[in-house]
């Protein structure tokens, strides 16, 4: 299975970035400020989604189970950094948010403290992603 890791910096505040890690089983995005991950969201499973929600600590990072997934929303694993685009926005109250697009398709949104963030690939709020 395909592995990928990349870091994407905010163009107006280099202290903030999104780090995407796909270990060949599952992919996550992490909102970072300096060296600290302050937000995270599940992006996609490469391995088959578990049929039941059983969160065994030995299985970290967790695959998102079937009951949370939009059955029509499939995404191919990221192959290269140029397949990812991060659109950064500073809200009126000074919070930086980022939309994550893969191959031009909006997939997830993160902000500091969002654990988890939002995803268009889920149909039920869960511990790995919230419905966008």
The domains of the chain are located at: 4-131
Of 25-29, 59-63, 70-74, 115-119, the one with minimum mean pLDDT is 70-74
Q: Measured between alpha carbons, how far is 76 from 21 in angstroms, rounded to an integer?
A: 14
The pLDDT-based confidence of 11 (bands split at 50, 70, 90) is: very high
Q: Measured between alpha carbons, how far is 33 from 122 in angstroms, rounded to an integer?
A: 26
Q: Measured between alpha carbons, how far is 126 from 66 in angstroms, rounded to an integer?
A: 11
To the question of pTM greater than 0.75 for the whole model, the response is yes
Instruction: Report strand pairing: 16-22 vs 4-9.
Output: antiparallel
Is pLDDT at 108 greater than 80 in this prediction?
yes
What pLDDT shows up at residue 72?
A: 82
Q: What is the dihedral of CA 96, 101, 11, 15, to 10 degrees?
A: 50
Q: Measured between alpha carbons, how far is 132 from 128 in angstroms, rounded to an integer?
A: 13
Q: Measured between alpha carbons, how far is 29 from 20 in angstroms, rounded to an integer?
A: 4
What pLDDT shows up at residue 73?
A: 75
Is pLDDT at 38 greater than 90 in this prediction?
yes
What pLDDT shows up at residue 54?
A: 86
**pLDDT per position as a tens digit, 61-99:** 999 999 999 988 789 999 999 999 999 999 888 889 999
């Amino acid at each position: 299975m395909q592995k990928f890791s990349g870091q994407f910096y905010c163009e107006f505040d280099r202290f903030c970035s999104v780090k995407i890690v796909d270990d060949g089983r599952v992919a996550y995005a992490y909102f970072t400020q300096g060296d600290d991950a302050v937000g995270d969201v599940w992006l996609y499973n490469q391995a088959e989604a578990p049929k039941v929600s059983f969160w065994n600590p030995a299985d970290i990072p967790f695959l998102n189970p079937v009951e949370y997934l939009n059955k029509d929303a499939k995404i191919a694993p990221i192959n290269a950094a140029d397949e990812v685009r991060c659109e950064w926005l500073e809200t009126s109250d000074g919070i930086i948010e980022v939309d994550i697009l893969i191959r031009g398709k909006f997939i997830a949104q993160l902000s500091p403290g969002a654990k988890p963030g939002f995803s268009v690939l889920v149909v039920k709020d869960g511990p790995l992603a919230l419905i966008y």
